[in-house]
Amino acid sequence: MRVPMIAGNWKMNKTPEEAVVLVNELKGLIQNTSAEVVICPTFVALGDVLKATEGSSIKVGAQNMHHQDSGAFTGEISPVFLKAMNIEYVILGHSERRQYFFEGNNEINKKLAAALKHGLKPILCVGETLEQREQGTTYDVIKEQIQKCLENLQEFNLEELIVAYEPVWAIGTGRTATKEDANEVIGFIRQQLIEVLGEKLSLNTRILYGGSVKSSNIRELMDMPEIDGALVGGASLDALEFSKIACY
Residues forming the active site = 94, 166
Among 5, 6, 9, 67, binds ligand 13P (CB under 6 A): 9
Is 229 among the residues that bind ligand 13P (CB under 6 A)?
A: no
Stretch of 108-116, 183-191, 204-212, 218-226 contacting ligand 13P, by CB under 6 A: 204-212
Sort 148 into a burial class: Cβ within 10 Å, 0-12 / 13-18 / 19+: middle
Answer for which of 202, 212, 215, 243 binds ligand 13P (CB under 6 A) is 212
Q: Which is nearer to ligand 13P, 67 or 94 (CB)?
A: 94
Under rule CB under 6 A, residue 210 binds ligand 13P: yes
Q: According to the binding rule CB under 6 A, does residue 211 interact with ligand 13P?
A: yes
Tally Cβ neighbours within 10 Å of residue 5.
22
By CB under 6 A, the residues from 66 to 125 that bind ligand 13P are 94
Residue from 218, 231, 239, 245 touching ligand 13P (CB under 6 A): that is: 231
Residues touching ligand 13P, count (CB under 6 A): 14
Determine whether 137 is exposed, middle or buried from the number of CB atoms within 10 Å of its CB (0-12, 13-18, 19+).
middle
Pick the piece of the chain touching ligand 13P (CB under 6 A) from 49-57, 183-191, 193-201, 210-218.
Answer: 210-218
Residues numbered 119-178 forming contacts with ligand 13P, rule: CB under 6 A: 166, 171-172
Stretch that binds ligand 13P, among 186-194, 198-206, 229-237, 239-247 (CB under 6 A): 229-237
Q: Give me the residues that bind ligand 13P (CB under 6 A), please.
A: 9, 94, 166, 171-172, 210-213, 231-235
